[in-house]
């Protein structure tokens, strides 16, 4: 299996998402979700990529793409979980059958779940550090510094605890397979298990890099906010959250295209964080990654350029 008309070391817009026993890969026109079923076979499902007007508007596209990715990401997570946990001996529950016959309700539930995820993140990384710091009798700048330290500490602890869960550990191994497969494609090598296994599991254009970039940028962006009261500061932060996401998205996009020292410096924290969110996959996981990425590869390299 070879890459269609690729030259070594170009930066591709192809990305993906690790799932339970599977991987979703997104190309310029197509999306493919590959999941390893209990019987060992790989299930493939497809979707098309829709280009929206906001993808051409800086700052706005970051917020809109985050919302879209949260919604679709949850959809693929649930799809993969259904296949990975499939058991023919257990009959489908009445509730599951009802949901299958009412896709509108499923869409609402997925939207609510995505919203709940954002709410949890805002609580952990916005409300909690500000609330705890506001309890201490400190001046403004000591509070700002301590708030940033707490925010980073909570994030690192959260990610570490995630790695301790067996199911998530396997998802992080699939995450490594996703990165290594994209790296192999970018290197212009044939997509074989042997070639992919040699690649690095760390990649600068990753959701982990985006998350840590949001945390870091928020520390500097929110430092200018007044601390007249803890509740008011939290309100200010919520109002600035769309701007924070937009700035972080544009910086990540620029870092993915640039080879300057500044871009590498900004990418480094995300690469460090990937020590917690990616692990070395086994060959069967790499096979799933190959199955997911192959259908989404465009005919020419230019179509996939970042």
Tell me: pLDDT of 291 over 90.
yes
Q: What is the mean pLDDT of residues 196-204?
A: 94
pLDDT the model gives residue 128: 93
The answer to whether residue 89 scores a pLDDT higher than 70 is no
Reported pTM: 0.84
Least confident of 39-53, 79-93, 219-233: 79-93
Half-sphere exposure of 147 (CA within 13 A, CB side): 32
Instruction: Please determine, for residue 58, whether its predicted confidence score (pLDDT) is greater than 80.
Output: yes
- Among candidates 71, 79, 95, 103, which has minimal Cα distance to 22? 79
Q: How far is 130 from 157, CA to CA, in rounded Å?
A: 17
Q: What is the mean pLDDT of residues 168-195?
A: 95
Name the band, by pLDDT with cuts 50, 70 and 90, for residue 240: very high
Query: Which one has a higher pLDDT value, 84 or 294?
Result: 294
């Amino acid at each position: 299996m070879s890459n269609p008309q690729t030259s070594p070391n170009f930066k591709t817009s192809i990305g993906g998402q690790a799932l339970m026993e599977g991987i979703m890969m997104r190309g310029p026109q197509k999306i493919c979700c590959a999941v390893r079923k209990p019987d060992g076979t790989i299930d493939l499902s497809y979707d098309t990529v829709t280009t929206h007007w906001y993808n051409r508007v800086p700052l706005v596209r970051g917020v809109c793409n985050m919302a879209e990715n949260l919604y679709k990401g949850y959809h693929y997570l649930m799809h993969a979980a259904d296949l990975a946990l499939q058991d023919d001996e257990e009959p489908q529950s009445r509730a599951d059958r009802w949901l299958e016959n009412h896709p509108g309700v499923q869409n609402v539930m997925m939207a609510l779940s995505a919203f709940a995820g954002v709410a949890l993140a805002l609580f952990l990384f916005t409300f909690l550090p500000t609330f705890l710091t506001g309890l201490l009798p400190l001046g403004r700048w000591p509070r700002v510094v301590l708030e940033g330290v707490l925010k980073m500490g909570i994030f690192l602890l959260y990610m570490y605890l995630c790695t301790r869960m067996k199911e998530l550990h396997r998802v992080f191994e699939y995450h490594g397979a996703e990165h290594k497969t994209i790296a192999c494609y970018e290197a212009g090598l044939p997509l074989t298990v042997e070639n992919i296994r040699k690649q690095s599991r760390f990649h600068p254009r990753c959701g982990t890099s985006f998350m840590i970039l949001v945390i870091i940028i928020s520390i500097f962006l929110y430092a200018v906010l007044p601390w007249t009261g803890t509740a008011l500061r939290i309100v200010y932060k919520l109002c600035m959250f769309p701007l924070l996401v937009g700035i972080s998205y544009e910086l990540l996009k620029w870092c993915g295209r640039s080879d300057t020292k500044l871009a590498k410096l900004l990418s480094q924290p995300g690469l460090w964080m990937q020590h917690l969110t990616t692990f070395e996959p086994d060959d069967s996981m790499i096979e799933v990654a190959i199955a997911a990425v192959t259908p989404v590869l465009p005919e020419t390299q230019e179509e996939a350029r970042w």
